Structure formats: structure tokens, C-alpha cells
Amino acid sequence: MLKRLSELRKKKNWSMQETADRLGIAKSTYAGYESGYRMPSIQALADIADLYETTVDYILDREVEKLLKFELNELLASEEHVLILDHSPLTVEELRDFIAFTRVKRELKKDL
């Protein structure tokens, strides 16, 4: 049951018809999603997330916070630029330096 849809649509001030038109589906189809009468296909679900400028996980009302924990080592390995500082992505080098930097600091703290 996709209870987020109604609030997302109202935030845009759209009728079901208008939403359906933008998605290229019948209004009864879209109404079915909001009422819980039907579930969209995965493609339709992705289209809806795009239209509402949100994530699929949000529409599905899934908890993602606990999933958003990043082990810096893994981050380094993945080579994806997930961390940003002052609007500029962190380079692998910067991240590597930071890891070394912090490890040393932690070691030093141990001896206090």
C-alpha cells in the first residue's frame, strides 16, 4: 500500500487525471495505486518516483537510515565518490589520507 503517493501528488497540486496523463497511464490505473487496489509494475514505480522527484524507497515507505552507514574502507574500495566537501567530491587520495590520519590519531589517544 503506497500511502505516500497521495501526499506527493497533493504537494504538486495535481489531480489523479493530471498525474496519470504525465505518466501516460489511465487515471483508473493510477487511482488503483493510491487506493491500494493495485500495485504498479516496477517500471511504473520508477516512473512515479521520477515524476515526483523522489526515491522508490520513499514511496515504498522503507527505512533507509540504518542502511546509510558507510565503512570508510569499503568506500575506498568501491571508488565511488560518495563523500563531498565544499561541493567538490572527495578524491580517493584524500580519503586514503584521512583514514591514515584518523588511525594515527586514534592510536595516540590510546596512550593517554
Partner DNA sequence: TATGTTGTTCTCGTTTCGAGAACATTTTTC
Partner DNA sequence: GAAAAATGTTCTCGAAACGAGAACAACATA
Binding site for DNA (CB under 7 A): 15-18, 24-29, 31-32, 34-35, 37-41, 43-44
Q: How far is the CB of 16 from a second copy (least distance, A)?
A: 20
Q: Does 37 bind a second copy (CB under 8 A)?
A: no
Residue whose C-alpha cell is 566537501 = 85
Of residues 43-62, which lie at the interface with a second copy (CB under 8 A)? 43, 45-46, 49, 53-57, 60, 62
- Taking a C-beta distance cutoff of 8 angstroms, is the pair 91, 98 a contact? no
Helix/strand/coil for 88: strand
Q: Does 71 bind a second copy (CB under 8 A)?
A: yes
Provide the sign of the torsion angle of the four alpha carbons 11, 15, 18, 22, taken in this order: positive
